[in-house]
Chain A
Amino acid sequence: MNIEVKVPVFAEGATKIKIRQWFVGEGSKVNAGENLVEATTDKIAIYIETPVSGYLKAKLVKEEDEVLVDQVIAIISQEEV
């Protein structure tokens, strides 16, 4: 089963949310709650975690990309990829 990871809704109102750094590579095993990626606005660092354990199947954005609230940025597969 594939699970989407989105830019959290609490980031609403923040402008120019930029992907700063991925902490894990595609194919890596991840545990629920683990930080996948860091995004930043001018004053806020937002760490986005995986909601479930599994494997990082795909990164849908790359570092330095600007993203929007609720945008899907990664896919977690609960089966090994």
Chain B
Amino acid sequence: MTSLVQYIDLGRIDYRQAYAIQEKIHVACSEKRSKDTIIFQENNPIFTMGRNSAKEHLLLPKEALEEKGIEVEYVDRGGDITYHGPGQLVISFILHLREYNSSIHQYVRNLEEVVISLLQKYDVRGQRIGGASGVWVGEEKVAAIGIAISRGITRHGIAINIKPDLTHYNYIIPCGIRDRGITSLYKLGVDIIDLDQFKESFLIEFNELFNTVTNKIQLNEMRYLDEY
């Protein structure tokens, strides 16, 4: 059966503000007041530490990073430390997992598959690497994945490097992986001029794999969020 999923585009937004919105939608979803939702966003520079983060994977003191304009935040997703910033598309998914006949493991694989299919449209050959999640091109990661699930509903999702400042990754051991690098579509020779079209392309691939239809709504249409 096809499921209806709504999506919102928060544009460039502070990570914590976007996080609060995600949490509210998650609660509304668990109370059946909101449809399953996909959130697009681009964040100001921030390192987020997942539940498996090792402090030594942050290579500079928090204060030194803040002087460079990069914040540090602990978050409740799985995974280790990662970077978010301008030029990176973060896509979060608030989905009732069982509606998609999926185990959490298969869900992560499906998200990777959506990204791999999307990259193919841009003649980029993304792939999985055994023992590591995310989507890689050669030995470099182009999309990272970190997920949380509570009450059977997912949160967080994937971050695709479009054209971020890759030097910011020099301040961390991304995802705790020392021997592999980070890349972006721009570094791979693909300059995404129209980000909206890129998001549309993402949704086409997502809809196909998850058997969904998506419709866009505005944040101010979700008035029930004000009650949380």
* A interface, CB within 8 angstroms of B: 8-14, 20, 33, 35, 38, 40-47, 49
Contact = CB atoms under 8 A, between A and B. Distances in A.
Nearest to B108: A43
B103 A14 contact: yes
Contacts, number: 69
B92 to A, nearest CB: 14
B79 A42 contact: yes
Chain B, interface size category, equals 20 to 34
Contacts of B133: 42-43
A10 B152 contact: yes
Nearest to A35: B150
Contacts of B145: 43
A40 B51 contact: yes
A33 B153 CA distance: 12
Contacts of B51: 20, 38, 40, 45
Given A41-B78, A43-B79, A45-B148, 16 more contacts: A8-B152, A10-B97, A13-B103, A13-B104, A14-B103, A14-B104, A14-B105, A38-B51, A43-B78, A44-B104, A44-B147, A44-B148, A46-B78, A46-B149, A47-B150, A49-B151
Nearest to B31: A33
24 contacts: A8-B152, A10-B97, A10-B98, A10-B102, A10-B104, A10-B152, A14-B104, A33-B30, A35-B150, A38-B76, A41-B78, A41-B104, A42-B78, A43-B108, A43-B146, A43-B147, A44-B148, A45-B50, A45-B149, A46-B78, A47-B149, A47-B150, A47-B151, A49-B151
Contact of A44 (B30, B98, B108, B151): B108
A42 B52 contact: yes
B105 A12 contact: yes
A40 B151 CA distance: 15
| Interface residues of chain A: helix, strand, loop or mixed (majority) | mixed
Contacts of B120: none
Contacts of A46: 78, 104, 148-150
| Interface residues of chain B: helix, strand, loop or mixed (majority) | mixed
A10 B108 CA distance: 12
A54 B228 CA distance: 25
B77 interface: yes
Contacts of B108: 43-44
B209 to A, nearest CB: 17
Nearest to B152: A10
A17 to B, nearest CB: 10
B203 to A, nearest CB: 23
Contacts of A8: 152
A45 B104 contact: no
